[in-house]
Every structure is written in C-alpha cells, then in structure tokens.
Amino acid sequence: ILDILIEFKYVPLGKVKLTGEQVKNMSREELRQLKPVKAAADEAEKQLNNYQQTLTEHYGDILRLRTYTVVAVGYDRLVWQ
C-alpha cells in the first residue's frame, strides 16, 4: 500500500498565449518548457516538498509517500512528473 500526494496547478490558455488546439498538438516536453507551465510546476514541487516534510515528521517511517505534480494547461492538456 502506498500513500499518494498530488499537487494540482492550473494555467489558463491566455497565460501561455496559445489556443486549445495548439496545446493539444504540443508534446508534453514542449508544454513543460513554457514559462508559465514551468513556473506552476516549480511552485507545485515546492508545495509538495513542504507537505512531504510535514507528513514525514508526523507519521515517520510508516508513511510510504509518493508525490506527483500535475499542471493543467487550459482544460485541454495535463503535464505531470
């Protein structure tokens, strides 16, 4: 059994200055390189680290935590790691 923590962020299409169709045609790596997406992913990672530290301090070694960041680009695409 694993403990899973997911941090979600949303980036509107207007921030990346692309249409939904353009976003759909981009690879995950191309999306990840867009500045607003990268900033959202970095913020999500930072928050996950804080949450992970707090949970580990509280639950200790019994926690088998797996963490994931997910960034939605509009309502058309997801970028995760």
What is the rounded distance in angstroms from the CA atom of residue 1 to the CA atom of residue 35? Answer: 36
Q: What is the per-residue pLDDT across 20-76, written as a single tens digit (0 to 9) for each? A: 999 999 999 999 999 999 999 999 999 999 999 999 999 988 999 999 999 999 998
The phi, psi pair for 15, rounded to 5°, reads: -70, -30
Selection from 80, 75, 79 nearest residue 18 by Cα: 75
Full-model pTM: 0.87
**Cβ–Cβ contacts within 10 Å for residue 49, how many?**
12
